[in-house]
Structure 1
Amino acid sequence: MSSTVLSWAHDAIGRIKKILLGQGFQQLKQLLQVCQQSDTVSQGGLVLDELPQDILHHIHSLLPLRDAARAACVSHGFLHSWRCYSSLTLNTQTLGLTHEKLGSEKEIEIHLIDKVDRILNNHRGVALKTLKLDLFPCDSISASYLDRWLQTSVKPGIEEVSLVVSTFMEKDYDFPCSVLSDDTAARSIQSLHLYGCAFHPTVTLGWLRRLQILCLYFLKINDEGLGHLLSKSFACLEQLEIGYCQEITCLKMPFKLQKLMFLSVKSCPMIRLVEINAPKLSSFKYEGTQVEINVIDSTRLKDVQMSHTKPFGVLSSAYAKLTSIAPNVGSLTLCCSNENFNTPMLAVKFLHLKKMDIRLLRSSLALWPICDLFSLIPYLHAAPALESFILRVDKAGAGHDSVVAVGDDELRRKPECRHDRLRRVMVTGFCSTISMVEFTRHILEHAPSLELLKLDTTISCRRRFQTWHAIEEYPASQVIRGCWPMCTAALAKAQRATEAASRYIEGRVPSAVEYTILKPCIQCIKQTRD
């Protein structure tokens, strides 16, 4: 038995032992203690095979897929358990299919189809709980394979179904609605994730009574089909994600979604209306062009993210619309490009807003000079409870920044705008434009509770994002720690930004404020490209 399998078996035995302690299973506890002796387990799967089948099956279920399959080769007990293995996640990673081993994309596709087919054939008659098929590398897979796999696997008792197919297939794969037409199979599904196929639900669709998570990406589905799907899954739905669906023009909930808490609508180019009828909705994300958004009951809507690519004035109009969409918003992210800043003092107030994140995406050279960052101050002023603020500027297109060469008395000020509760501020893409310096100086002068100010002079908001914000919201493994290559021009911009911060910012930072300026490191300089 491999050392990896043994390690997982040890861990599984430890967990089961804790459950059994104090419940009178003396014989079994003694056997578990024997199994934990490394010199005994190292003989292979012999001692493990002495465990009761239900305990052995539970240990096996805790192994990753590859280790579970390997364990079946060295233990009769695990072999029996493998034939009943109920959670299948099949992709190139779990099946060990890499370019290093196989070389070409075509060979990976052939081996992936073959392995998936053999595994699912061996699991015929098994009551699967989880089926995740990621077949994105398979551009030319036959629809007959997919139909057969789904029809034999999606049976009563299955809880999670995920299908990812390539968006580069010559002919769209039509997801067989017949596998969801049986009420006994449909009603056990708790999570449904479809990516890259066509899906045309009708009234014959079974009742998805327990469906909690529904994710639809790159799907060929129209308004009528989406309506049928939502009408069959409204009872328990908690999370709904719709992205890159080209045919949807209207997202209108046919019934009140009593349990829906998270809704994401991303890059559906034809959509014109989003109407939300979900009294428990707490988080809403929208990305795309400006559309009509109606929220029937926004009492609990606290987290809003809105991203627009065009036209001008999106930031100010979106901010104004929030009064009707989410008047009680506590965390707000606004993302836009080609923004024309000329913002007067805003009449609306968001009394509960504590976190704000404004992202200014790459703009063309011709449009960038009109971005007056000093005009962002009214957005902060309209949130009197604001505690955390992040400004992310992708300045790759900013070709007109230069070392500021003006006196202190020439910098603009807004003394009427105070931010008494603002404690943490970060700016990524900090540059040496006058408006950037004016904005940062304003924060220092009008935020008496400020505790942290971090300025990143590098080229993108995605670069070296190791901040309090990232650590709070994402696991450490997901925080980007590396540096991206920078061109010579970007290094020069970062140098000018550092000089501007040294001249106009650093000397005005109170001693109680933790101040950091991130500059290009040695690795950045080594990776410099023209």
Structure 2
Amino acid sequence: MDELGIIEEGVDWRTRLGQDIRDRMTDDILFSLQMKLQTTTSTTLIDLQKVAARIEERIHIIAIDYGDYLRRISLTKGDLEDSYPVLLNNFLHIRQQASIRTSVLLHQENKQGQIIQTEGNIQGISSSSMLPNQVTLDDHKEPSHPCGKDRISELPNDLFHHIMSFLSMREAVRTSVLSHWWVNRWTFLQSLKLDIDWFHMDREKFSIFVDKLLLSRDYADAPMDTFQLNSFAIDRVNCWISHAIKHNAKVLKFAEYERWEPFYLDPELVGLSSQYLKSLELTNVALDKMIFNPLNNACPALRNLLLKDCLMEVKEISSSSLKNLDIIDCSLINDLSICTPSLVSLRIKDQRMDNSSFRNSYSMFTTVTLIDASSVISMELSAIDRQFTFVEKDGSSPMFRNLRSLHLGVWCIADLFSPLCRYIRHSPILEMVTLKLSLLHWRFQLTEEHAKTLVGIRDGRGLHVDFDWY
């Protein structure tokens, strides 16, 4: 095999690629990951060796030849290296903020002389990242001024919890220092919103905080309605998501740091089967068949599914309960079929205008096939590098009988708007059509004949046609 991956006809280039080359590529990716994180010893980090191996294996599968394999590896490494200055700035910001916080805390301690006891005594971790178990406030006195009376403590629990819900989880935890009545009141909050930005991307402190928070709620046997988590390269996330599922969370939102490899939801640690889950939002997550199947078959209450910047290795979305499905800026490794008879809103779109090398490393031209969209009222199919088609099931004609609003991408201009005409023919009550086109396509690819055809389509059905330029 030569440098371009050209080998004799009928022989798969992968069978001729030595394991030593693959191991070297994996090591190069591992080095880039280590440079990005600037650490390899923390127990709270994803096993970087496994991450590097998954990246190489995925690229090895989707590459069309040896040259494409090398190109995609280079794109991935380049993106990791380009993001290093961002993380360096974050690190410098952390050091600066830590210095300021230390000075403030020392000043407050000298001035007030109050001691806050925290659960556990972990060397090297500031008290701001821990959860208070009990507070020593023996000198606490009721304020003498009548306007300073604690009236919040007299509120009904439902109203009190509603007020607390406007605080971040970190702020809610800190209310424990106000008085004995406030200690651990936060544990009964049913909405948990956790963000690593609170700790300036410090993964160690954030992991300790979340672990202790969930443990404290377990002691209180508190119910959970919403679990929202923004994280960065923390392996414990698998356990935290599993915890939320086991505690019957109705709304689950998870976002991995956008400049990091898509987070791998481990099917051995996370089971998305739930009788209670109604809404699921995932950002920058790798989804394979094993992790996705329960969403199709074991989540009867699931109504809303939003996937953003995800790497989708699944071939089918077939939930019978879904009402709203959004697939935004996602990379599809395989052709995807969608069979969702209860779906009301469908969006498959791209919002990014830049050409991220990270996204290009997984870029594939794939086909999305709609099998049952008979209940859809609003639909947008504007993602690039996609071919959209549909297949009517027996007895389901017309396919889009409830569709009123249709938003299509540049792919619909082929053959004088032939794809657009096909969708319109199968949408008897369609009212609004929006075409997402680039000015470049309009200037160089759309002829006068295209314009006349589009006018004929509009006037023939009395449609309102609009444009979404980019």
Match of 1:198 in 2: 265
The Cα shift of 1:251 comes to 0.8
Match of 2:348 in 1: 286
CA distance in 1, matches of 2:187, 2:255: 24
Q: Secondary structure at the match of 1:291?
A: strand
1:124-157 Cα offsets, whole Å, 9 max, x none, are 4232414535343x34x4x2x4466556665444
The Cα shift of 1:359 comes to 0.9
Q: Which amino acid aligns with 2:148?
A: Q
The Cα shift of 1:196 comes to 2.7
Match of 1:166 in 2: 257
Alignment check: 8 A CA contact 2:408 2:436 kept: yes
Q: Does the alignment pair 1:332 with 2:406?
A: yes
The Cα shift of 1:391 comes to 1.0
Alignment check: 8 A CA contact 1:282 1:303 kept: yes
The Cα shift of 1:167 comes to 5.8
- Structure with greater helix percent: 2
The partner residue of 1:299 within 351, 374, 391 is 374
Q: Does the alignment pair 1:356 with 2:462?
A: no
Match of 1:248 in 2: 313
The partner residue of 2:303 within 234, 238, 241 is 238
Change (3 A) 1:152 1:44: farther
Alignment check: 8 A CA contact 1:49 1:76 kept: no
Q: Does the alignment pair 1:125 with 2:219?
A: yes
Instruction: Note the aligned Cα RMSD (angstroms).
Output: 4.3
The Cα shift of 1:50 comes to 4.1
Alignment check: 8 A CA contact 1:337 1:361 kept: no
The alignment covers a number of residue pairs equal to 303
Alignment check: 8 A CA contact 1:338 1:363 kept: no
CA distance in 2, matches of 1:157, 1:292: 32
CA distance in 2, matches of 1:224, 1:207: 12
Match of 1:64 in 2: 167
Q: Does the alignment pair 1:48 with 2:152?
A: yes
Q: Which ranges in structure 1 are unaligned for 5 or more consecutive residues?
A: 1-38, 98-104, 173-194, 395-530
CA distance in 1, matches of 2:272, 2:436: 42
Alignment check: 8 A CA contact 2:249 2:277 kept: no
Q: Which structure is richer in relative contact order (CA contacts within 8 A, separation 6 or more)?
A: 2
CA distance in 2, matches of 1:85, 1:346: 52
Match of 1:372 in 2: 447
Q: Secondary structure at the match of 1:220?
A: strand
Q: Secondary structure at the match of 1:332?
A: strand
Q: Secondary structure at the match of 1:164?
A: strand
Q: Does the alignment pair 1:276 with 2:339?
A: yes
Change (3 A) 1:388 1:227: same
The Cα shift of 1:168 comes to 5.4
Match of 1:478 in 2: none
CA distance in 1, matches of 2:268, 2:451: 46
1:277-296 Cα offsets, whole Å, 9 max, x none, are 42x22222234855252423
Identity %: 13
Change (3 A) 1:385 1:51: same
The Cα shift of 1:329 comes to 2.0
Change (3 A) 1:160 1:74: same
1:440-496 Cα offsets, whole Å, 9 max, x none, are xxxxxxxxxxxxxxxxxxxxxxxxxxxxxxxxxxxxxxxxxxxxxxxxxxxxxxxxx
The partner residue of 2:457 within 371, 382, 402 is 382
Q: Which ranges in structure 2 are unaligned for 5 or more consecutive residues?
A: 1-143, 351-364
1:455-494 paired onto structure 2 within 5 Å = none
CA distance in 2, matches of 1:40, 1:386: 71
Change (3 A) 1:277 1:89: closer
The Cα shift of 1:360 comes to 0.8
The Cα shift of 1:346 comes to 4.9
Give the TM-score normalised by structure 2: 0.52
The partner residue of 1:262 within 304, 313, 324 is 324
Q: Which amino acid aligns with 1:236?
A: A
CA distance in 2, matches of 1:354, 1:241: 26
